[in-house]
């Protein structure tokens, strides 16, 4: 009866393979965690910037509607004036075009 000697793995080989697997699992978990947190931070920043732009546009609309329109209607009641002067949307778009705020690069 011929018996082959069993091949046993050394303890150092088993511990090295275990550490390698743990290292790979930890690396994947860390990269995934950083990726998710980065996306959440980018979303929070986008919401902040969009609300800032929206607040600026609403403030411009309110200023033109409440402050400028009433005084300009009284001033130009008998004189010529361009109706787009009183358009809040026209003013916001003109400001955006002058300063390149909404240009796609």
DSSP string for residues in 26-55: HHHHHHHHHHHHHHHHHHHHHHHHHHHHHH
Q: What pLDDT does residue 82 have? A: 65
Task: Name the pTM for this structure.
Answer: 0.55
Q: What pLDDT does residue 105 have? A: 47
User: In whole angstroms, what is the distance from residue 102 CA to residue 105 CA?
Assistant: 9
pLDDT tens, position by position, for the chain (105 residues)?
556 666 788 889 999 999 999 999 999 999 999 999 999 999 999 999 999 888 888 887 787 777 666 666 666 655 666 666 667 777 777 777 767 665 554
Q: What pLDDT does residue 7 have? A: 72
């Amino acid at each position: 009866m011929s018996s082959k000697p069993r091949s046993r793995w050394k303890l150092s080989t088993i511990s090295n393979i275990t550490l390698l697997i743990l290292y790979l699992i930890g690396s994947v978990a860390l990269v995934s965690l950083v990726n998710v947190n980065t996306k959440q931070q980018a979303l929070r920043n986008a919401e902040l910037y969009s609300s800032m732009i929206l607040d600026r546009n609403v403030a411009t609309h309110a200023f033109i509607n409440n402050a400028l329109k009433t005084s300009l209607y009284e001033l130009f009641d008998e004189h010529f004036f361009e109706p787009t002067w009183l358009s809040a949307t026209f003013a916001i778009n003109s400001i955006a075009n002058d300063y390149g705020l909404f240009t796609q690069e």
